[in-house]
Amino acid sequence: MNFIKKHFLTISIFIGALFGYVFLHPFGILVHQVHIGGEGKYLHIHWDRALAEFKMAFSIEYLPPAILYVIFSGGVAYLIAKVILSYKKINEQLKIFSFIGENTSGFIHDLKNNIIAISQFADYLCENAKSSEQDECCDGIRRQSEKVLKLAADISVSARQGTNFPLDKQGINLRNFIENIVSGLTLGCKVEIRSEISEDVFIDVVYFERVLWNLIKNADEALTTIENGRIKISITQDSHSVIICVSDNGPGIPRKALRNIFKIGKTFGKTKGSGIGLYNCRIITEAHGGKIWAISEVDKGTNIYVKIPK
């Protein structure tokens, strides 16, 4: 069995070539003996001549066409074997990905516990720091730990299948919610928040924080090379929905790239982008029964809209 697995491609070509020589080649010779004749135009075959030709198919005289059949059959067998091997490889990879997906929550849980422990050690060191350099190092550890925790949360969301995952919704004031998110971020420019609503909006605060965190961070990163960069967040409403718009005056996104920014693995303007942040924004928004879209103009900026039911 191991020998067959190891030499599957070679065996397939050999069997295909043998099939071409033993079956296809004589059958091709036999077909030449079939003709249409008679008053009713029926198919006729002269069996006496056909059997003789069938035997002659394995003679030296018919070697050239036999070689062509062998090459043809061997080539077809090679292609079929390659398809089978590719299918088996893809199937094995899918099993691995399925296993990872099914166990992601456990992996992420363990990772978060370790990162939280590191962050707590950094807090302890900061409290007992004896110099500004030590304090700065500890602060750096905490910032990097926060990034890893956020990335772990993104991976956890991406591993979920579709948008049908449970939400723990609660009523919150969106303006205060966004202000708290902004205050916890290290940004290179100021954020202006404008809200036209005062009533609570029902969202899953854990998941929806990922949406706003990603949108604000993306806007901030787009402004790293822009003088007088600004981020504006507006909260408006219509009769049935709440609309959040995160806008920046950055370099904008070309129309071709704009069509794909909410697809997994797609990113723009980042050399080390993971391509899962905006994808997560989309599936979380859709899980809330809403939708997300972007409007952008090169050299003028980008507006990303999130619309969710009240």
Please write the tens of the pLDDT for every residue from 61-83.
777 777 888 888 888 888 898 88
On the question of pLDDT at 244 being above 90, the answer is yes
* Inter-residue contact 214 to 203 (CB < 8 Å): no
**Mean pLDDT in residue range 207-234:** 91
Q: CA-to-CA distance for 133 and 125, rounded, in angstroms?
A: 12
Q: CA-to-CA distance for 72 and 299, rounded, in angstroms?
A: 57
Residues 6+ away with beta carbon under 8 Å from 43: 34, 35, 36
Please report the pLDDT score of residue 38 as a whole number. Answer: 46
Banded model confidence at residue 100, pLDDT cuts 50, 70, 90: low
**Secondary structure of residue 244 in the 3-state scheme:** strand
Q: Greater confidence, 35 or 122?
A: 122
Q: CA-to-CA distance for 199 and 196, rounded, in angstroms?
A: 10
Q: What's the whole-number average pLDDT of the chain?
A: 81
From residue 49, give the alpha-carbon distance in Å to each of 69, 88, 146, 253: 22, 47, 85, 74
**Listed range (63-67, 70-74, 128-132, 159-163) with the worst mean pLDDT:** 159-163
Q: How many CB atoms lie within 10 A of CB 81?
A: 18
Scanning the structure block, which residue is given the tokens 């909006």? Answer: 201
Please report the pLDDT score of residue 36 as a whole number. Answer: 46
On the question of pLDDT at 114 being above 80, the answer is no
Q: Does the global pTM surpass 0.75? A: no
Q: By C-alpha distance, which of 234, 236, 241 is closest to 203?
A: 241
* Inter-residue contact 202 to 169 (CB < 8 Å): yes
* Inter-residue contact 213 to 181 (CB < 8 Å): yes
Q: By C-alpha distance, which of 205, 192, 199, 86 is closest to 153?
A: 205
Q: CA-to-CA distance for 258 and 295, rounded, in angstroms?
A: 8
